[in-house]
């Protein structure tokens, strides 16, 4: 199977690029003693889990289906967390998770009896400090519902808990900024942490970013672990799959209204939702910073402002030309939807030996079934 034969749109995951990130994860684990669990909310494409499993310790979730997926397809440790569990949710996953982390003291009180004796009990804490580029993704934003604030904690709980989880980073590429957060947690919650077996520091620590000082991060994690006598966990998502996949699209039309727009057979609202939500323009492999030909890369959805980016090319674009939208693994495949009835991208993996393996494809029957299974007639 040749790439040129594949019908767009499609995601192409590159095994070599994935392994390069995983080798950095391996280095961090060896130097620090930290355990790493993959954040399925970011990337759940289980067809490539056989590549990832040798490097990581398990998975962590944000909902009951992710718990089941991690348990069934990844193995290792299965961490269960949700902002809001129902009783049925807890019953569904209590027997298959290793750690159950509750978001609030009220949920912990309501459901701990369903978990005790089956999984290790944890509680999410909100330290009131964070690192996030946008308020929408800031766990410590004003009126945050994520975790228990320090002034709301019942100290007696820590005699009955096994661990806690903090998640206060979003794409943090600054090791010194992370260390400052780590020190703030130690100072604010240290007396509680000393009573626990484990502490998860959540995700958003971008230790695979080019130039990131992994050795400095590892030393800080190891010192924190030894100070409080806990097993540390990180929950990487983007750090594992960053720059490992492209969304490949085709130019289907070129229109002009003040600026030229190349319309492609994909849409941010359906296939790359975070581009739209966070207003963060995508990058195109074929673009050129010095190119003389500027285009809006527009989607084929009906939403007026749905576009991937504005960028330049060395030569005019042509209908039928393929473009590669870079860094399209994280928060894409987990958020795919059927808006406008658009064709959903297939998913492939390019193996180290050059072989192209199909992981998933979607058709009209999938679209139809997602909307109704039965008729009232």
122: nearest Cα among 112, 132, 113, 131: 112
How many residues belong to the chain?
377
Q: Is 131 exposed, middle or buried (0-12, 13-18, 19+ CB in 10 A)?
A: buried
Report the run of H or E that residue 239 belongs to, with start and end.
helix 238-241
Give helix 214-228 / helix 15-32 axis angle, nearest 10°: 40
For residue 302 the two structure tokens come to 């009906």
How many C-beta neighbours within 10 Å does residue 14 have?
18
Give helix 214-228 / helix 175-193 axis angle, nearest 10°: 10
Distances (CA, A) of 218 to 5, 176, 330: 44, 12, 24
Residue 166 contacts residue 234 (beta carbons within 8 Å): no
> How many whole angstroms separate alpha carbon 327 and alpha carbon 282?
8
Strand partners for 307: 298
DSSP 172: B
238 annotated to a ligand binding site: yes
Strands in 175-325 per DSSP E: 198-200, 231-234, 245-256, 260-264, 293-298, 307-313, 322-325
DSSP 176: H
> How many whole angstroms separate alpha carbon 245 and alpha carbon 80?
27
- Give the residue ranges of the annotated binding site: 238, 274
Binding residues for substrate: 238, 274
């Amino acid at each position: 199977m040749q790439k040129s034969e594949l019908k767009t749109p499609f995601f192409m995951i590159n095994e070599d690029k994935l392994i390069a990130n995983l080798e950095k994860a391996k280095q961090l684990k060896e130097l620090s003693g930290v355990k790493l669990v993959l954040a399925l909310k970011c990337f759940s494409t289980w067809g490539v889990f056989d590549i990832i499993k040798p490097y990581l310790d398990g998975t962590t979730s944000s909902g009951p289906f992710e718990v089941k997926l991690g348990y069934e397809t990844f193995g290792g440790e299965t961490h269960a967390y949700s902002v809001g569990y129902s009783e049925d949710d807890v019953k569904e996953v209590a027997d298959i998770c290793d750690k159950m982390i509750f978001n609030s003291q009220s949920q912990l009180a309501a459901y701990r009896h369903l978990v005790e004796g089956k999984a290790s009990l944890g509680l999410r804490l909100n330290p009131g400090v964070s690192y996030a580029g946008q308020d929408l993704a800031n766990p410590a934003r004003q009126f945050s519902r994520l975790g228990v604030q320090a002034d709301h904690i019942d100290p007696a709980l820590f005699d009955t808990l096994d661990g806690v989880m903090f998640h206060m980073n979003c794409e943090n590429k600054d090791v010194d900024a992370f260390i400052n957060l780590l020190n703030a947690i130690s100072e604010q919650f240290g007396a509680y942490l000393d009573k626990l077996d484990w502490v998860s520091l959540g995700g958003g620590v971008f230790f695979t970013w080019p130039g990131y000082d992994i050795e400095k991060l590892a030393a800080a994690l190891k010192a924190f672990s030894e100070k409080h006598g806990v097993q540390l966990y990180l929950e990487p998502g983007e750090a594992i799959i960053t720059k490992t996949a492209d969304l490949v699209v085709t130019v289907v039309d070129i229109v002009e209204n003040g600026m030229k727009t190349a319309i492609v057979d994909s849409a941010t609202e359906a296939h790359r939702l975070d581009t739209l939500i966070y207003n963060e323009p995508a990058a195109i492999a074929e673009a050129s910073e010095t190119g003389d030909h500027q285009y809006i890369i527009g989607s084929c959805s009906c939403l007026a402002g749905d576009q991937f980016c504005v960028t330049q090319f060395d030569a005019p674009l042509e209908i039928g030309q393929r473009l590669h939208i870079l860094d399209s693994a994280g928060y894409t495949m987990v958020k795919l939807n059927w808006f406008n009835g658009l064709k959903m991208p297939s998913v492939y993996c390019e193996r180290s030996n050059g072989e192209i393996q199909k992981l998933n494809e979607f058709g009209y029957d999938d679209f139809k079934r997602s909307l109704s299974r039965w008729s009232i007639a």
